[in-house]
Structure 1
Amino acid sequence: MSEPTGGAPWRKTPLPGGLYFVATPIGSARDITLRALDILASAEVIAAEDTRTARKLLELHGVPLAGRKVIAYHDHSSAAAREGLLKLAEEGASVAYVSEAGSPLVADPGYDLGRDAAARGILVTTAPGPSAAIAALTLSGLPSDRFTFAGFPPSSGGARKTFIAEAARMDATVILFESPKRIRGLLDLLCESAGESRSAALARELTKKFEEVRRGSLAELRDGVESDPPRGEIVLVMARAEEVAADPADVDAALREAMERLRIKDAAAEVANVFGRPRRELYQRALELARTEDD
């Protein structure tokens, strides 16, 4: 391996032709790895989701382009743009690809590029590093032995409700991305599907100056974003679904008692919190009990 150039922390070394996925910082520029810098200094071609961000990152760490171009490749790039990068790699060029922030392919473009490169026998490797999903899981205080990264929920409609209902049933800690404008709506739906008492954590601006992690029940997080709306990039981490060992007769008895005091919807919500069950499930059961008693 060659020595650092001009005292820089990175080393410029010959790279075999292929595709190199390079993880980049999600906030703090100093989170870049030395191997990532080595690849960015050495690759013959650099492709980026956002060329301006990539150029700034190289400048911050003193990595010279030395005549190399930074080629744009993002979600809206054409098949021809992907083919151009693949052809360069097939011809022996080392192609480094960086997303705007974090690990390429994790809620970022690059999947089609990596899939096609592997299918064509092109070397595909990665310089792993920062990931908002893993950072949020680490700080959440929730079980990390089994987790699912679910990404961004659909923005609206039935697809959004179905997605959230499925996430609520997962037997694993669930990691979600969401925008500040839609986080209150997401928490409302999760309270209905997963139960207000389900433990969760909301992380924002990870590794940045205003990093914040809010921990509590889904209901507490929902009420918190109502009174203090979060800004910046948000990761929501939710505890796995857990079956509560409760006799169905006890649940029915609790529903009947609550329905004597409250509207059906409110009674179902109260009992759902007590037994840690999805509100929607107990609402349907409360309707069945009400119909039975009316007959």
Structure 2
Amino acid sequence: MNALPSAASFGAALQAAREAAGSQDYPAGTLYVVATPIGNRADITLRALHVLQIVDAIACEDTRHTQQLLRALGIERSPAQLIAVHQHNESGAAQAVVERLLRGERVAYVSDAGTPGVSDPGARLVDAARAAGLRTLPLPGASSVTTLVSAAGLRADGPQASAFVFAGFAPAKAAERAAFVQGLAAEPRAIVLLEAPHRIEALAQSLAAAGDRLLTIGRELTKQFEDIATVPAHAFAGWLAESPQRRRGEFALVLHPLPATAAGDGAVDASAQRTLRLLLAELPTKSAVRLAAEISGAPRNALYALALQWREDADDDGA
């Protein structure tokens, strides 16, 4: 992958953005939620380039980081036009943004990378705007979640194959992280996780409990030293240990779906199925599955998959 483009490289892109997006309507008093590149600046969209030029202010997770990105894109905004809205001040800062919106200003929100509100700040700001009766206009773009899912090669051989669960970051404390990963074992669908480099080895040790279940690793996605690999979950720690470079950078992970043979009806006999149906009538799915597994001895993963399938069948029948 080539080096990142410079500010001069975006001159034509800024002109193209004005031509492609300039004729669209950009209402006043609107919060624009703008996805930004997760690594390669060339992944910025034309509409994002245009909006970042025309809004009255840009709320951002880190004003210094955003100023650097804007300058790299060839966009000049004064420091007074940048508003810090991050995880430590989001609730209070959101009200200041709402006041601007109520005055008829256009305000964009960007996180440090990717799509705001997806394991990044932004959700509280959007909620505050909604509560004030204001419009939020999302500008889709880069996301490490969908980027890695698209490259994971998840099989399409079952009703849950194309579905995935976004679990985000695992807890930092060892006991909580182990319980978190253990809870994932009951989920038959693919699971997307994010992790920082200083905690990736600890997560790898915890994920070893998933055994032969496939794990796709995305490291430094879209960047110059991007690395994508698929290994059994138990081999992840060994994969990391093969090179110091592999323990650097930001990570996205996809734990693949359970194989159909591990999640199908065949692993659950008629008695266990009857127990599960009775419990599902009275309890939430997870509680019903846990008790059914304890009573019948059937695999919890298979019971959970069966419960999800029954729920989907019921939804289809009611449609």
Q: Which residue in 2 is equivalent to 1:235?
A: 252
> Could you tell me whether the CA contact under 8 Å between 2:220 and 2:249 is conserved in 1?
yes
| Correspondence for 1:72 among 75, 84, 91 | 84
Shift of residue 112, structure 1, vs aligned partner:
0.7
Q: Name whichever of 139-148 and 86-95 sits farther off.
A: 139-148
User: Are 2:14 and 2:49, in contact at CA under 8 Å, matched by a contact in 1?
Assistant: no
* Aligned partner of residue 16 in structure 2, secondary structure: coil
Change in CA separation of 1:8 and 1:173 when aligned onto 2, cut-off 3 Å:
same
For 2:14 and 2:216, the matched residues in 1 are separated by 42
8 Å CA contact 2:53, 2:75 repeated in 1: yes
- 2:237 aligned with 1:222, yes or no? yes
1:24 aligns with 2:41: no
How does 1:106-121 map onto structure 2 within 5 Å?
Answer: 106-121=118-133
Quote the offset at 1:212 in angstroms. 0.4
Bigger shift: residues 153-162 or 83-92? 153-162
Contact 1:89–1:122 (CA<8 Å) still a contact in 2?
Answer: yes
Q: State the distance in 1 between where 2:267 and 2:12 align.
A: 66
- 1:189 and 2:184 are equivalent in the alignment: no
Find the partner of 1:10 among 17, 29, 32: 17
The one-letter code of the counterpart of 2:171 is: P
**One-letter identity of the residue aligned with 1:185:** A
Please point out which of 165, 175, 180 is paired with 1:158. 175
Superposed CA deviations along residues 25-45 of structure 1, whole A, max 9, x for unmatched, are 000111000000111011111
CA shift in 2, pair 1:24/1:174, >3 Å: same
State the SS of the aligned residue for 1:232.
coil
Q: What's the CA shift for 1:6?
A: 11
Task: Kindly indicate whether the alpha-carbon contact (under 8 Å) linking 1:44 and 1:68 is maintained by their aligned counterparts in 2.
Answer: no
- Unpaired runs of at least 5, structure 1: 249-276, 279-295
Whole-angstrom CA distance in 1 between matches of 2:72 and 2:52? 13
Contact 2:91/2:125 (<8 A) preserved: no
Give the greater-gyration-radius structure (CA): 1
**Residue in 2 that maps onto 1:173:** 190
Deviating 4+ runs (over 3 angstroms): 4-7, 12-15, 245-248
SS where residue 10 of structure 1 aligns? helix
Task: Provide the C-alpha distance between the structure 2 equivalents of 1:145 and 1:94, rounded to a whole number of angstroms.
Answer: 37
Instruction: Please tell me whether residue 210 in structure 1 is matched to residue 225 in structure 2.
Output: yes
The aligned amino acid for 1:199 is L
CA distance in 2, matches of 1:7, 1:78: 30
Letter in 2 for 1:211: E
Identity of aligned residues (%): 35
Q: Distance in 2 between matches of 1:220 and 1:5?
A: 46
Q: Aligned-pair RMSD on alpha carbons?
A: 2.5
2: distance between equivalents of 1:41 and 1:104? 18
Aligned residues: 245
| 1:176 alignment partner, SS class | strand
